[in-house]
Structure formats: C-alpha cells, structure tokens
Chain A
C-alpha cells in the first residue's frame, strides 16, 4: 500500500494524463486505461504505448483535445484524454 503510493509520488514529477498537458506540449504515452474496446480504438489510430504525441489543440470548457501521432491528427474527448497516461518531455 505504502510502497504503491510512494511509487506514484516518485513518478508524479513528469507523469500526467494526456488531458493535463497544455497546447503545444509533447509527451510519450506510458499507459492506456479503460476497457478493451476503447483501448483497441485508441491503438487503431496510432495512440499506443511508447508513441510520442503532441497536443495540437485543447478546447475550452472540457472540450476535445487534438493530438498528433505519427504525422496524423486525431480528435478525442477530454474524458478519453484522461485515460491516457503520458510522460512529458522535460
């Protein structure tokens, strides 16, 4: 329990969800959360663990996020972006 928490804290420095990134930020995808179908959808458009993503646009009022991966852009909802854990490049 304690260990798990400690681990989280040590990563918290640069580990975020995709929804926490700002417009223009670049990061590497670390973990995909959510159901199997959802993960497959993400992967099928190139959002896979290990890929580098750039936040092209982030819309106000919890609106959609546009990310670029492998030279292609994809619009996803803020809730979906919340389920993608990334490590931001320093």
Chain B
C-alpha cells in the first residue's frame, strides 16, 4: 500500500490536515510540539486505500530532539511526501522544503494558513513558486477544509524535483532567501493597538497580570460549567434513577449480591456517595460527580490551547520555573496534569534533559491533583466552605514550589534555557474545541471509569472479607498519632492507590471534622500516585528514578500532613 507522509515545521497545522484527510481525530493545538509521536491513518485515494502518517513537526532534517528524530525517520517509508508549509512564515518553512526536495522522492506542498497570510498582507506567487521548486503547490486552509479537495486531487501530481543539489547549509539558506524575494511580497503595516495588547501579554509586568487573569478565568469557567452540568444535567437524571434502584434493592433483598450491586443502605435509603454498590456509587462518582468537571476542565483547556496563549504563559513564568529546575515549558505538564496526571507526566517528554523530565514528572505526580480528585474535593469540602478548599490548593501550591526548589538543588543535570516559537493568537474554532474535548472525555470514560468500577468492586469484596480492617488495624495508631485522623480513614488511603476520586468519596461516611477532611485530602494527593500514574512513571523514568520519586512522595506527605495537623488540630487533645 502506498504511504503518504505529512511533514512540516512545528505548529503549521499538520494534525488538522491529517484529520481532514483521514477522518481520524488527533489532538491538535495552537502551540509547537503538540504531536510527540506519529499517528497513522488511512484514506481512499481515487478508490485505492493509502496509508497516511502524521509526523511531529521539525524545522529541518537535522533533528535536535526525540520528536524530530521520529519525523525524519518516517521519511524512509514515504512513497509520497506532503510538505505542509505555513504561508505566513514561508522563509523558515522553505528550509525544510528545499531539504526534502533533495531526498529525491515525490513531493507536493500544501501552502497552509493561506487565509491568514492574505489577512496579514502577505502575497505569494504560487505559480512562480511551482516553477522554481518544480513540484505542485496547493494553497490550503486546513481548519476550514479549503483547498483540501484540490490537494487530494493533485496528490498524483507529486513529483521528484529535478533542481540541482545544493552544496552545504549556507547555500541552502541563500537559496531560500533568493526564492522568498522572488515569490513573496509583503504589504507594510503599522503597529496597531491590537499588536500592543498582544505584546503586553508576553512582557514582565503586564504579562503576569494577564496570566493571573487568564488562570482566574479558567477556574471560573471550570466551576461555572461543572456546577451547571451537575445542577441541570446530572442531578435530575440521578433523581429519576432512584426509583429503579430502590425497586432493585427491594427485589434483591439483603445478601452478598445486594451488597455488590446496590451496597449498604444508609438509614434504609440508597446513598449515592456512601453505599459503595456498583450500580449506585459506582455510577454516581464517575458520572454524577467527576464527569461534569472533566468536561468543564477539558473544554477550558482546549480553549486555552487553541488560542495560542500557552507559549506566552511559558515565557512569563520562565523565571519562576528556572528556580525549580525547569523552564517555562514546565507549565504544560502542570496544566495537563490538572486534568489527569498520566498525560501530564507524558508531556514531560518535550523537556530537553533527564533532570528536567525527572523534576517535572515528580512534581506533577506528587503535588498536582487530577480533575477527578479535584471534583471530589469540591464535592466533599465545598459544603464546609471555600476556605478549606483554598487551604488544600494553597498547601499543594506551596509544596510544589518548595519541592521544586529542593529537587533543583539535589537532582543532577542541566537545565537549558527556554527556546520557544510563539504562534499568533487565533480564535479557537468551536468545532475543533468540541472535538478535542470530546476525545479527552471519551478517554476518561473508556480508560478511567472501568478502573473506578474495579476499585469499588475491590473495596467492596475486601471489606466483606475483612481484609481492609486487618490491614487498617496496625496503621490506625499511626493515623491517629501523626495525622490526627481516625483509624477508619486507613481504607480510604489504601483505596487511593486505585483511584483517588474513589478514595476521597470513601471519607464521606467517616464523619470527619472539616480540619480532618482537609488533612486527609491533602495527604491523599501527595502520598502516592494512582496505579495508572504509577505505571506511566515507571515507563517514563525507569525503576531507579521512579523509586526516588516515590520516596519523595512518602516523605513529603508525612511532613506536610504533620504540619497541617499542627496548625489545624494541634497535638494536645
């Protein structure tokens, strides 16, 4: 089967084009480095199936990092190369184009973001460029499917350029400059107020103000959408659902099956949070409490990603992250980690050195609560007042900074400087944002929800067998002595290894004071990653560094738990 490879500079829209061609959805954002591995898809080309590969972005065929190496190695498999070029920065993209032409493989160029180039007053003489490069060139706007049809129709015209080979890099650069002067004219434009506002978001003082404003708006949006979905979407459904569950409970009668399916009745009634049955708590925690916030978070994240703001946030926060052994790009693992720690740890891959990757992965898995856990924290602590929630997040943020400072001093290795290409601001497309949110939410439902079921089942069975009490007994004095928590909180902490949202839910029936709840959920975030994060840490860091990370977690949770206890409860009863 014919293989077509999409290749181009970072953030030129390869993944959007790939989705257009294959119908396969891939995560695309408005910042460089979204794709760290290649994606494979198929399409029908004039009735014949062909394979399409979406390569990570690369500026040149001389790779400088892991993702770029992937891109270059894909070229060997290519029967046809589709070189995606950003029409708004033709000059820098042409370096790769000229290098690709020398590969002596059939090439076709998609001159993407054509609309934006016109908007900016950039005119490119496509005919002339075709004559010079001797390969077909198709202007496209991948995001709105403009020019895609023509690109597909002309794929067969992709041809091997017969331009003479250039000797050495300097010659290539000179040639690129020469071509650009020949085909491109740019209308001069003055700096507008809009330009000034855009620049303000990347400067020191105003940039921080903008960052705080954006992050505040993000949290506000998550809360608004999350609470809205619960109030108007989920709650009415679960209210209706009470009737069949009560009927089932009566029909089953007491016994093991009742305990597994419906769980224990609280005051003769099903309690969605406390009953711990698969059909009650097992459905309510993921769909009634967590899912609304997952949707809300990923919606807000998609808006943020597609707007092009993230590289600016990375620039503004760079100084702070350098103190923690990272650079501004470290904000990406943190933001993704707030959704789910697994993609958060994975995105540490885009950092250059082993030290940076270790610090980022450790900080995320120790101090960043995932959205599933956050949703439960809001649900459980919310009724006691916002100050307890603030206390939890304030503590976690403080630990993030302090732990980063310590790790930076103790971990060996380099911390290189930030090097970031800043994309223009773009208005996020409603369709793209919805699609991306849907992909991530679907991931949560298919990957995380089964785990939650498994967790509830395990807790139910172990509880029935008395295993949990057996495990809890020796730990109970320590719980009481150090954290000021009752021994009954031990099972919840143990369950946190399976799912942290479930673990927070298990605290509800214990009738803890707000102070105890605050300590418990903070320790739960810090002490150990859930099994999915644990597996990904092992894969990304290796056994030795993973063990180091775990040691850091245990120490941190003991220390922070003890300190919180001192301030919130005190030591004398």
User: A residues touching B (Cβ–Cβ < 8 Å)?
Assistant: 23, 37, 40-41, 43-46, 48, 56-61, 63-64, 66, 70-80
User: In the complex the two chains form, is A76's CB within 8 Å of B202's CB?
Assistant: no
Nearest Cβ distance between residue A83 and chain B, in whole angstroms? 11
* B239 CB contacts on chain A under 8 angstroms: none
Q: 1/0 per residue B303-324: CB within 8 Å of A? A: 0000000010011101100100
How far is B196's CA from A56's CA once the two chains are assembled, in angstroms?
10
Q: Determine which of B120, B173, B319 lies in contact with A63 in the assembled complex, contact meaning CB atoms within 8 Å.
A: B319
User: In the complex the two chains form, is B89's CB within 8 Å of A57's CB?
Assistant: no
Interface 9-mer from B40-48, B130-138, B284-292, B413-421: B413-421
* B169 CB contacts on chain A under 8 angstroms: 40
5 new A-B pairs (CB below 8 Å) besides A57-B199, A76-B418? A41-B419, A44-B60, A45-B421, A57-B204, A75-B314
8 pairs of A and B residues whose beta carbons are closest in the complex = A77-B417, A44-B59, A73-B422, A57-B203, A75-B420, A63-B319, A75-B315, A64-B318
How far is B207's CA from A44's CA once the two chains are assembled, in angstroms?
27
Assess whether B64 is interfacial by the CB under 8 Å rule: yes
Residue among B91, B186, B207 having the largest count of chain A Cβ atoms under 10 Å = B91
How many residue pairs link A and B with beta carbons under 8 A? The number is: 97
- With A41-B64, A63-B204 known to touch, is A78 a contact of B417 (CB < 8 Å)? yes
- With A44-B59, A63-B204 known to touch, is A80 a contact of B319 (CB < 8 Å)? no
* A59 CB contacts on chain B under 8 angstroms: 204, 315-316, 318-319
Q: How many residues of B contact A (CB 8 A)?
A: 36
Assess whether B128 is interfacial by the CB under 8 Å rule: no
Nearest Cβ distance between residue B453 and chain A, in whole angstroms? 45
Q: 1/0 per residue B411-439: CB within 8 Å of A? A: 00000111111101000000000000000
Which residues of B from 364 to 421 have beta carbons under 8 Å from A?
416-421
How far is B485's CA from A6's CA once the two chains are assembled, in angstroms?
75
User: In the complex the two chains form, is B92's CB within 8 Å of A46's CB?
Assistant: yes
User: In the complex the two chains form, is B420's CB within 8 Å of A74's CB?
Assistant: yes
Nearest Cβ distance between residue B161 and chain A, in whole angstroms? 21
User: In the complex the two chains form, is A64's CB within 8 Å of B328's CB?
Assistant: yes
Assess whether B95 is interfacial by the CB under 8 Å rule: yes
* B199 CB contacts on chain A under 8 angstroms: 56-57
- Closest residue of chain A to B89, judged by CB? A72
- Closest residue of chain A to B203, judged by CB? A57
* B420 CB contacts on chain A under 8 angstroms: 74-75
19 A-B pairs whose Cβ atoms sit less than 8 Å apart in the complex:
A41-B59, A41-B64, A59-B315, A59-B316, A64-B319, A64-B417, A66-B202, A70-B92, A72-B88, A72-B89, A72-B92, A74-B419, A74-B420, A75-B318, A75-B419, A75-B420, A76-B417, A79-B417, A80-B417
How far is B557's CA from A14's CA once the two chains are assembled, in angstroms?
56
- Closest residue of chain B to A48, judged by CB? B173
Nearest Cβ distance between residue A6 and chain B, in whole angstroms? 29
User: In the complex the two chains form, is B92's CB within 8 Å of A45's CB?
Assistant: yes
- Closest residue of chain B to A49, judged by CB? B173
